[in-house]
Amino acid sequence: MPIWSVNPPPNPSGAGSGQMPIWSVNPPPNPSGAAMRPLSQIVAVAENGVIGRDQTLPWHLPSDLKRFRALTIGKPVLMGRHTYVSIGKPLPGRISVVVSTDPAFAPPPEVRVAPTLDEALRLADAAAEEMGADEIMVIGGRRIFAETEPLAALVHLTQVHASPEGDVRLPAFDPKIWRERDREGPLQGEKDDFPFSYVTLERI
């Protein structure tokens, strides 16, 4: 399955459309003067680039959900509002940080909401310090993946060996920027819809 591409993702900031951008790829300053903790993305992508359909996953992979939990537990998870809504609740054992400009968005008080990505990164870094975590996990959706990709150090990629229909796609990773560090698979548990491989990408 090809995971590499040099095609840039669509600009999610609205630049050129007359809208004020709410996203930034500049790392926010840390008030303490210390460097922000590393960002890692975690995402499952089908062979056709699909990552979602109708605000949910277009597959059932219990094995991958267990891995997702193992990699994110005890850490802040950074996401967009649609991703949070698709999950439906704060993830246990993690601090949820959500980027949203919707004034009607009213999650439980333990969820930390920011109107910009820069502010969300500051909140996530503070949450990591509270939790004693050494990294921030970015879990979606497409816009958040696109805008945090320049800042990420690692990508925990699940390559789903299928081509389901979907309405959300992620551009493939550029081999000039990312290299494959580890690979496991193909794998498939008894209850998993499709075979898949676990791939760790690190920034060159």
Q: Where are the domains of the chain?
A: 39-203
pLDDT of residue 10: 42
Q: 32 or 71: whose pLDDT is higher?
A: 71
CATH number 3.40.430.10 given to 39-203: yes
SS3 134: coil
Percent of the chain scored above 70 by pLDDT?
83
Residue 174 has pLDDT above 60, yes or no: yes
How far is it, in rounded angstroms, from Cα 64 to Cα 192?
A: 9
- Summarize pLDDT for 55-112 with one digit per residue, the tens: 899 999 999 999 999 999 999 999 999 999 999 999 999 999 999 999 999 999 999 9
* Per-chain mean pLDDT for the chain: 87
Is the entire prediction scored with pTM above 0.85? no
Say which residue the tokens 């959300």 belong to.
168
